[in-house]
Amino acid sequence: MTFDDVRTLVLAWPEIEDGSSYGTPALKVRKKLLVRLKEGGDSLVMPGVPPDERDMLVESQPTVFYFTDHYRDYPIVLIRLSKAKRTTVEPLLRRHWRTLASKKAVKDYDAQDRRAG
């Protein structure tokens, strides 16, 4: 995956906007960070992942998921884009989007998704 792949995926969801965070490209929901590209260009900084879940992800897929000491005390996991698959990344993004988007946007999206499926 690339950051452009991630952008294409999430721009289909309501209330997503392009932005920047710490000088890197970022995707935001109502001005709040959904995900950003880490300095270096091959990793996503993915908020909204509790430490216990992060530890499980890192243990089960260490080539994809990791974290640095800087992020140790935060609910964040780092994702190596060059090793990641959409089926792994999308559920994390979607779950975090749901916590940031307005209730109406989530409800409307879910209704549209049910009609399409």
116: CB partners within 8 A, 6+ apart: none
pLDDT at 115: 79
pLDDT at 117: 66
At 116, the pLDDT band (50, 70, 90 cuts) reads confident
pLDDT in tens, 91-103: 999 999 999 999 9
3-state secondary structure of 104: helix
Q: Provide the mean pLDDT of the chain.
A: 95
* pTM metric for this prediction: 0.93
Q: Which residues pair with 79 in a beta bridge?
A: 44, 65
User: What b/e string do you get for 29-57 counting C-beta neighbours within 10 Å, with b at 16 or more?
Assistant: beeebbbbbbeeebbbbbbbbeeeebeeb
The whole-angstrom separation of Cα 96 and Cα 65 is 16
Distances (CA, A) of 38 to 33, 77, 93, 95: 13, 11, 16, 20
At 6, the pLDDT band (50, 70, 90 cuts) reads very high
- One-letter amino acid for residue 38 of the chain: K
